[in-house]
Structures are given as C-alpha cells and as structure tokens.
Amino acid sequence: MTQPSILWLRQDLRLHDQPALVAAAHEGPVVPVYVLDDDAPGEWRIGGAQRWWLHHSLSTLDAALRAKHSRLILRRGDAVSILTALMEETGASRIHAIRHYEPWWRDAEKKLGDRLELHDGNHLVRLEDLTTGSGTPFKMFSSFWKALQSQLPPADPFPVPHAIPAPAHWPMSDELAEWTLLPTRPDWSTGFDKDWTPGETEALAKAKDWSDDVAAYDRRRNLPSEEGTSRLSPHLHHGEISPRAIYHALGDTRDAGAFLRELAWRDFTSGVLLALPKYGEVNGRPKYDALPWRKDAEAKRDLQAWQQGRTGYPIVDAGMRQLWASGWMHNRVRMIAASFLVKHLLIDWRKGERWYWDCLVDADYGNNAVNWQWIAGTGVDANMFGRIMAPLSQSGKFDAADYIREWVPELRDLTDATIHDPDDSGVRPNDYPAKLIGHREARERALAAAATLR
C-alpha cells in the first residue's frame, strides 16, 4: 500500500480550499493531525477564549473528516517531536501543511526541514510574492495594498476532495475532552454559545450571507449599535474559511472595496511578522522604548478598571464588557478602548494587547500586535501618538446609545443625549463609576509624556 502522508493542521481547520489536504490526498492515504503545542509559542500560547473556540472547531472538523471516512488525530506536546514520531509510527513519507507566519511556527517549519511540504492557503496571495523594490516585506499598508491589488483576484478556492484515503492503521489519538479547553469553574463562556457557532459549515454560510450585506459595510461598520460587520474574523483566525474563499463568495467586488481593504490589512499584518517577528513584544519605533508609562499601584487599579469595564466612560465600558461576555468586540470600539488605555491611562500598549489576546476568540498574533501599535503610535505604520481619540464624542458621533444600553445596564434608562457622558450631564447613577480621569487632563498628561521623547 502507498505510504501515507501526514496533514498537519494548525489555524487552517477546514476541508474547503485546503491545498495541503488536496496535495496529501493526491499522493495517497492521509493522516490528519492537530498538535496542541503550548510550549512553542511560549507566552503566546493561545488564550482562554481561543481555546473555547478551538474545542468546538476541532470537534466539527473531526465530524466532517469522519463523513469522508477519515478522522482527526489529536496529540499534545512539542509539535516537531510529535510529528517526527508520527512519521516513524505510520511510515509516512511526507508532512503537508499550510504555511504560517507566527515566529514560533516558522521556527517549527524550519526544524522539520525537507520532511515538510508547505502550501499557501491562509492569505489572498502568497506573501513572499508581495515585496518592495528591494525585495523586503512591506511595512506600510498603503504600498502593500497597491501591490496586492495588482495580483487580485486571488486563485479560485480548491473544492473539498471527493475522497480522503485512509491509512491501513490509524495511530492513537487523545480524547478532545482530556485537553480541558473549555472553562470549568467559573464558566465565563456562558454567553459565547449565544453569539457563536464555530466550524467550517457556519463560516461558509456566513460568507454567503455576507455577500448580500457587504455593499453597506463602509456605511455601517462604525456603528456599534448595528450589526454592520461580517463577524467572520474568528472563523478566519482559526482557518475555518480562507480569505480567497470569502473573496470569491462576494461575487462582484465593486461594492466591497472597504471590506476588501480589511481582508488585505489582515494579510499585511502577517507580512509585518516576516520583517519583524517580535512585533508583539517590541516597539516598531525604538524611540518609544523611553516613553514613561505609568506602572504604580494606581496604574494597576486603572488597568483592572479598564479590564472590568468600570472606567466611567460608557463607550469604553460597553466594549470591555462585550469582550468579556462574548469573546469579541466591535471594531470601532476596539480602537476606542485601546486608545483609552494607552492615551488616557498612559498604560503600556502591551498590557492591553495581552488582555485582548486572552479574551478575543479572534486574537491573531500579527493583527493584534499591528493594531495595538497603530493605536499606540509605536508601530512602523502607525497613528501619531499625539492623535488622541475622544471617547465621549466618538460615542455620540457613531450613535452608540443602544450599544451602551445593551452592555452597561446601569445606564439603560438614560436618554440618548445623556448616556454618552452621564457625569457631565449630572445623571450618573450611583452604581456606575465616575470617570477615572477627565478627557482634557488625560490628553495633557499623554502629550507631556510624549514630549519627554523629543
């Protein structure tokens, strides 16, 4: 019998547009494997919200494989060691996988050497083909976007293979429940089931439905009280759907420009990791290493208030409570909440990045890092530090009243005119906190801190 191939799955938990699976099935028997490797990422081991999603995604993927007379093998530990041992155990001749750009996965791919055949499938186009004139990855999005557009549309997605040949003997597999990916006591995920259905089937259905709404995306995406975004981000992060499958699901993309830029931004952040692998830890602009972040006991209390949605700024608090309850936050509010932590509270962006990493079901290393450094002004392509978002005016501008009522029930009875700033209106309920700091005072403190770098 033909030697089997191992299909190494990571953040590509799908059968549709899965080039590594197609290549492996073309060669012969396939052993699909997911390795839960908490050591390779180190401090970037996947967070609690992602683990909840991963449990359900792995379960649905195994069911889809079994419908094709295959199955998913689960192993836990060092991915390189486990895959090497599985090759010996199964007699596999090769490992097929989709290319990843997180530094720990690039290191693992390098260690596997010529035993591993990599395929491109988690981005619109192959990132190594998008470089500057000097052959280096782009660090500016505008230039990246211009170069990417010249290579669109992306290749057509691969269909699901008609058959996935099985090996003569299946290796042993862990039981998914043994991994305890789901929270136990306390179970903070009780709201997740209401908002999310992980898995490839749901991802493909969402993409199809989104094609009917994408034309209104540019108008509605900044309105947190409306359902104006695709909510595809966690499906994309876990690889339950590919970006090019989404692109082609949109059909005529002339009205999808704003949304396509968001897909492109996701690819861009992976490209930044090619140039700067430690971007999640190190300022893109070294001069900000000397910024005097607040680190005292009061700053720690302010950080905790921000995490709990108790800052006294309703739009910020609504976002942070939505994040905790659902594992997701509206994109406009993500920016407002992040800016508030960095500029109003003068707390290191990395503190917020780590909180999002643990709480977001779509927490992506590259996207999370680039977005935080953009807001903080510390990145290679970033907003200026002195540009400070005003959360109170942003709340009114983007009509967030109903959004606040949903997530901050203490303010539910306030009018549209007073709910954005109940302190200033003199109607703040006793059970809602006063502002941690006034906007003008916070702005002056942030600008004074930035002035020390000149």
List active site positions: 262, 265, 293, 331, 349, 372
Strand, coil or helix: 9: strand
Task: Work out the number of other CB atoms within 10 angstroms of the CB of residue 181.
Answer: 20
Buried b (16+ CB within 10 A) or exposed e, 401-417: bebbbebbebbeebeee
DSSP secondary structure string for all residues of 17-62? T-HHHHHHHHHS-EEEEEEE-SSTTGGGS--HHHHHHHHHHHHHHH
Q: Give residue 421's identity as a one-letter amino acid code.
A: D
For β-strands 5-9 and 94-98, DSSP reports them as parallel
Q: 199's torsion region: left (phi>0), alpha (psi -120 to 50) or beta?
A: left
Alpha-helix residue ranges (DSSP H) falling in 41-140: 48-66, 79-90, 103-112
First CA to last CA distance, the chain:
69
Q: How far apart are CA 313 and CA 433, in angstroms?
A: 9
Least Cα distance to 384 among 292, 453, 313 occurs for: 453
Length of the chain in terms of residues written: 454
Strand, coil or helix: 337: helix
Q: How far apart are CA 307 and CA 302, in angstroms?
A: 9
Read off the tokens for 156: 């057509």
Our CA dihedral for 435, 437, 438, 441, rounded to 10 degrees, sits at: 180
Burial class (CB in 10 A: 0-12, 13-18, 19+), 145: middle
Q: Which residues pair with 75 in a beta bridge?
A: 35
Strand, coil or helix: 73: strand
Q: Which residues pair with 131 in a beta bridge?
A: 137
Q: Which residue has the tokens 């861009």?
A: 268
